[in-house]
Amino acid sequence: MAIQRRGNLLIPKLIQTEAENQAALARLDEIFDAKPGTPDGDEFELLVALIEAYERVAYPIDLPEPIEAIRFRIEQAELIAEDLIPFIGSTAKVSEILSDKRPLSIAMIRSLEIRAEVLLQQPGGKLSSADTSDYAKQDDPDILNDSEAEDA
């Protein structure tokens, strides 16, 4: 079990296996209606933190592909491709971006207001948030800088 009790003291143990995670989830289900500030409420909060920590490592969620992130944003905001023209440029540029025939420039990424780490990743790659600021500073010939984006 992820938590042991000694009187009113809760002693947490990191969840390390799927069996431990399942046991913690079962216990969480048992005390789901616990009131905050009660011993069961405290156990509930601690279990949630332990389960989240385990699942963040055991079941990582990959970043979406950059174009899929843009399409999702368009759908969520109930936009159409032409609505991207002020952010990306001409209709042709929007079409090239959405068909993955043209890379996003840093200026486009900034204007789209989608997390940079999603848009800066290489196809099929992963980029941690710690790498994002350093990546944008690199001289990558496949990514246009701001002045090149204006000329393109």
- Chain-wide mean pLDDT for the chain? 78
Give yes or no for residue 104 having a pLDDT over 70.
yes
Q: What residue type is 19 in one-letter code? A: A
**Closest to 49 in 3D by CA, of 11, 8, 15:** 15
Domain boundaries, the chain: 3-58, 66-151
| Per-residue model confidence as pLDDT tens digits over 34-56 | 999 998 999 999 999 999 999 99
What residues are paired with 12 via a beta bridge? 3
Please report which confidence band the pLDDT of residue 108 belongs to, taking 50, 70 and 90 as the band edges: confident
Please report which confidence band the pLDDT of residue 140 belongs to, taking 50, 70 and 90 as the band edges: very low
In this prediction the pTM is 0.51
